[in-house]
Amino acid sequence: MADKRAERRGEHDLAVAGPEQVRNVALVGPSHSGKTSLVEALLLHAGAINRAGSTAEGTTVCDTEDAERSHGRSISLAVAPLMHRRAKVNLIDTPGYADFVGDVRAGLRAADCALFVVAANEEVDESTRQLWRECDQVAMPRAVVVTKLDHPRADVDAIVAQAREAFGGKVLPVYLAADDGRGLTGLLSGGGDIDDPRRGELIEAIIEESEDEDLMDRYVGGEEVGLDVLVADLETAVARASLHPVVPVCATTGVGLGELLDLCVDGFPSPLEHTSPEVFTPAGAAVGRVSCDSTGPLVAEVVRTASDPYVGRISLVRVFSGTLEPDTAVHVSGHFSSFFTAAAGHEDHDEDERIGAVGHPFGAAQVPAARVLAGDLGTVARLSRAETGDTLSAVDQPLVLRPWSMPDPLLPVAIEAATRSDEDKLSQALARLAAEDPSLRVEHNAETGQLVLWAMGESHADVLLERLADRHGVAVEQRELLVPLRECVTAPAKGHGRHVKQSGGHGQYAICDIEIEPLPEGSGFEFVDKVVGGSVPRNYIPSVEKGVRAQMERGLRAGYPVVDLRVTLTDGKAHSVDSSDMAFQSAGALALRDAAEAAGVSMLEPYDEVGVLVPDDLVGPVMSDLSARRARLLGNENVDGGRTLVRAHVPQRELVRYAVDLRAATRGAGTFTRAFAHYEPMPEEQARQVVPRLHHQG
């Protein structure tokens, strides 16, 4: 038995001799497109797992965390390797739901090519179109996989036509599915016996991309082009991302699995042909790009971080250069703020750590490895300080990779610990969540006193709260999000402050008269001294100002800071014995409250400048919705791909759930950005609904 198990391990040995044997393939597509089922079918086809979904050693590729099982869909990327024709294919299964685009971006960063998976009974959604555009910008090789051929409503021709409309004319089928979905015919390998116009279109597209400039002339002149030439040119065009083949596949019947794996091995590039990200020193000096060389300097990137209850933190890494070996010292660099302005919760750090065991990722498990070479994916244990997006390099030659770009999380969720014991654990738990998930932003709002988690959407927020409770044992409660409001006086006025108390012994005596007037937005605070004759002693004038400033911070109406105000001290009285610094502070505060009562106080609310990107046919409904949110529309701009950018100034109070509402209204086709613009007076009807800040903080 032992000999047989050793033989089976050798058959599916995941070690490679060099980068040329590796194919890192990301599977991208919407939820329910069948990505995970396809991965499992490919593993079974290659003999990497048995019918029960396990390897010979009992590793289960389908292992998922509780949150994934409760949500009924993949919410984090997983890697499953297989061997096909002496090549190692790392299948990177990415989440299909838009809230977890951070893991999708991480998966694409770890990959050298991508399979866009669409179901034959569904449509191509907008988030998939957007990811295709992003891959197009970096010329990532791609293919389209049509799944669920056995579904009663499957229509391969319709989904291929839709994919071509969505992704462009260079998306071309290379196989035809039988009407019953139980077989494939190669448009090239079937030869001239295939009477289908798609064969001619495919051949012409291949020849157009051929490096043989005379091939098209010979073809048009009637010369027969050999199958080997067409296949070689097709593979070259796919590797250069200038042609994108479509392969129909059925996970349940096995149709197309072998053809798809052949495409991955023959058509997709190895890591040797992949351009590495830009490399810098920790100080920010540009180094250039490293080559995929196992003997070169170590440069690896953490693309996913997970917590294991038995072995602690497990880091999934892509090795771009060098070799990763167990029990060696590495330098860990994280420099989000050097590349992104919004990096809250991801502080810059540089430290040396000794890694533990290394392995090959296999779903939620790890297969032990002696080393991980350049171009391959691996797992590293015991990196206690490394976060997702960090760079691992040699201790004597520390380097930093430019992190992959992340969309801003735009759904704020205010939370607080449920109990005192939860409060003690919350900070550390959030630090661990932020280390795992660069799409999470943690904000401690000094003005409102709230702890705010910025998430990608409702599902992302739900998963974060579940992980706090289940993984870290921290219970939290959600609170209404407070927007940092301001107060301002509406007219000039005079105020009188009298603080006189005598209760035996040393008394308190201070009287001051002030004039106030509002200033233009952004002017701040001015204090003017116009006291004559020494009615207020010089040493107490700063005390009056201090009292006025303190009252401005406490607010004059609902407990929010007062802004844009000039206060002029005109007169006052003092007592030679009973006057004091504290007495004049109190008098200054009283005088400001008296003047404000006469002048009137209005509430100011923050506005953000918002850019909403939507398909052209949704511009009208989006503009109407923004108007209902009290927005001031600034204009529209046409964007390529039949989309329009709508710009507006919108009150922050109206944007709290806009990430959720926009996605629902546009079926995921709309995205937006936001940035603080200015403060504006709040309508009095809205202002009367404002709950005093002190009530929330008390």
* The pLDDT of residue 403: 87
Which uninterrupted H or E stretch holds 136? helix 126-137
Percent of the chain with pLDDT over 90: 71
Assess whether 382 and 520 both reside in one domain.
no
Assess whether 56 and 179 both reside in one domain.
yes
Tell me what the pLDDT averaged over the chain comes to.
Answer: 89
* The pLDDT of residue 92: 96
Of 304, 356, 312, residue with least CA distance to 330: 356
Residue 185 contacts residue 175 (beta carbons within 8 Å)? yes
* The pLDDT of residue 696: 42
State the DSSP string of 149-185: TTSTT--HHHHHHHHHHHH-TTEEESEEE-TTSS-EE
Tell me the angle at which helices 658-666 and 619-628 cross, rounded to the nearest 10 degrees: 150
Q: What residues make up the domain containing 664? A: 605-687
Q: How far is CA 451 from CA 448, 518, 559, in A?
A: 9, 32, 19
**Pick from 235, 252, 273: which residue ends a domain?**
273
Assess whether 661 and 547 both reside in one domain.
no
* The pLDDT of residue 276: 87
State the DSSP string of 301-337: EEEEEEEETTTEEEEEEEEEESEE-SS-EEEEEE-GG
In this structure, what CATH number is given to the domain that contains residue 140? 3.40.50.300
> What would the pLDDT profile of 407-432 be if each residue is shown by its tens digit?
889 999 999 999 999 999 999 999 88
Statement: residue 8 has pLDDT above 70: no
> What would the pLDDT profile of 586-633 be if each residue is shown by its tens digit?
999 999 999 999 999 999 999 999 999 999 999 999 999 999 999 999
**Pick from 363, 383, 401: which residue ends a domain?**
401
Which uninterrupted H or E stretch holds 514? strand 508-518
Query: Which has more confidence, 647 or 533?
Result: 647
Task: Establish if 149 belongs to a structural domain.
Answer: yes
> What would the pLDDT profile of 297-355 be if each residue is shown by its tens digit?
999 999 999 876 666 789 999 999 999 999 999 999 988 777 776 555 578 899 999 99
Assess whether 268 and 296 both reside in one domain.
no
Statement: residue 65 has pLDDT above 70: no
Assess whether 33 and 179 both reside in one domain.
yes
Of 448, 521, 416, residue with least CA distance to 692: 448
Of 480, 412, 404, residue with least CA distance to 440: 412
Assess whether 303 and 357 both reside in one domain.
yes
**Pick from 232, 257, 273: which residue ends a domain?**
273
* The pLDDT of residue 338: 78
* The pLDDT of residue 401: 94
Confidence of residue 59 (pLDDT cuts 50, 70, 90): low
Residues 483, 543: Cα–Cα separation, whole Å: 31
Confidence of residue 698 (pLDDT cuts 50, 70, 90): very low
Q: Exposed (0-12), middle (13-18) or buried (19+): which is 342, by Cβ within 10 Å?
A: middle
* The pLDDT of residue 308: 66
**What is the mean predicted confidence (pLDDT) over 4-30?**
74
Assess whether 17 and 147 both reside in one domain.
yes
Statement: residue 569 has pLDDT above 70: yes
Adjacent-strand bridge partners of 319? 300
* The pLDDT of residue 502: 80
Assess whether 111 and 40 both reside in one domain.
yes
Residue 17: partners with Cβ closer than 8 Å, 6 or more residues away: none
Task: Establish if 45 belongs to a structural domain.
Answer: yes
> What would the pLDDT profile of 379-414 be if each residue is shown by its tens digit?
998 888 899 999 999 999 999 999 888 888 999 999
Classify strands 508-518 and 565-573 as parallel, antiparallel or unpaired. antiparallel
Assess whether 475 and 531 both reside in one domain.
no
Task: Establish if 678 belongs to a structural domain.
Answer: yes
Query: Which has more confidence, 504 or 254?
Result: 254
Residue 118 contacts residue 31 (beta carbons within 8 Å)? no
In this structure, what CATH number is given to the domain that contains residue 650? 3.30.70.240
**What is the mean predicted confidence (pLDDT) over 2-16?**
49
Assess whether 547 and 420 both reside in one domain.
no
Residue 104 contacts residue 492 (beta carbons within 8 Å)? no
Domains held by the chain: number = 5
Assess whether 337 and 447 both reside in one domain.
no
* The pLDDT of residue 52: 56
Buried residues in 502-540 as b, exposed as e (16+ CB within 10 A): eeeeeebbbbbbbbbbbeeeeeebebeeebeeeebeeeb
Statement: residue 5 has pLDDT above 50: no
Computed on alpha carbons and rounded to an integer, the radius of gyration of the chain in Å comes to 32
If you search the block for the tokens 């046919």, which residue do you land on?
617
Q: Exposed (0-12), middle (13-18) or buried (19+): which is 683, by Cβ within 10 Å?
A: middle
Side by side, which strands form the sheet with 365-369?
349-354, 329-334, 391-393, 299-308, 312-321, 377-381, 358-362, 365-369
Assess whether 635 and 542 both reside in one domain.
no
Statement: residue 673 has pLDDT above 70: yes
Confidence of residue 56 (pLDDT cuts 50, 70, 90): low
Q: How far is CA 545 from CA 363, 552, 569, 576, in A?
A: 64, 10, 9, 20
Residues 29, 41: Cα–Cα separation, whole Å: 17
Residues 300, 400: Cα–Cα separation, whole Å: 9
Residues 177, 479: Cα–Cα separation, whole Å: 54
Task: Establish if 252 belongs to a structural domain.
Answer: yes
Q: Exposed (0-12), middle (13-18) or buried (19+): which is 584, by Cβ within 10 Å?
A: buried
